Amino acid sequence: MGLFKTIKEEIELIKERDPAIHSNMEVFLYPSFKAMMYYRLAHKQYLKGHYFLARLISQKGVRKTGIEIHPGATIGKGFFIDHGAGVVIGETAEIGDNVTLYQGVTLGGTGKEHGKRHPTVGNNVMISTGAKVLGSFKIGDNSKIGAGSVVLEEVPPGSTVVGVPGRVVKSVNDTLPQDNLDHVHLPDPVREDIRNLQMANTELINRVLELEQQMREKDREEK
């Protein structure tokens, strides 16, 4: 893919995903745009075995953007980082097509193991602000990861994951449309658990009151 075609595609992608961009020129100031330009240059050198040069280019990109993408990572088409400060993507991470990350997201490992040690992210996935995905497993296609979640195990396709550690709170097999980037109004499993406990507690109280009433009536009959 030629440089100008790549730049044009990045401009269209960022304008489509971020309503705050009002002109093509603004895109050149956008951290995600700069980070991807540095990544593409670094990744080419990495594939050629020029690891030091690849890391040199990559680290320059980190200083310019606050986004750290290891040059060894594999990234598909339509990748978008909204804002981006604090995003970290590890060496063996694999990212599919039409993936959106928000600021503070980490696609990391869990230790000093060798080989494949970072996540594989499927197509049409959204990972929300501050989420941490740690380990060598897959985030299934068409999934959403809620803000602040810590995901430590595989996520089935079409799932919504929230919490620490991350829990699947919704699972559907529909494709995630790229204009559906709401990462705030997601199910809250803690609230659901509390609501269920409150309902169970109310039922127990009513049952106890009913038994006490029966005991009082029995006592009156015996007297």
The pLDDT value recorded for residue 214 is 83
Joined together, the tokens standing for residue 145 give 């990861």
The pLDDT value recorded for residue 107 is 95
Interior angle at CA 113, CA 111 and CA 119, nearest 5: 75
Per-residue pLDDT tens over the stretch 86-104: 999 999 999 999 999 999 9
The pLDDT value recorded for residue 176 is 47
In contact, 124 and 138? CB cutoff 8 Å: no
Listed residue (174, 159, 123, 127) closest to 146, CA to CA: 127
Joined together, the tokens standing for residue 209 give 């009151």
Residues in the chain with pLDDT < 50?
174-179
Q: Where are the alpha helices (DSSP H) in 48-175?
A: 51-65
Secondary structure (3-state) at 107: strand
In this prediction the pTM is 0.73
Classify domain 3-127+135-142 by CATH number.
2.160.10
Secondary structure (3-state) at 71: coil
Q: How far apart are CA 67 and CA 180, in angstroms?
A: 24
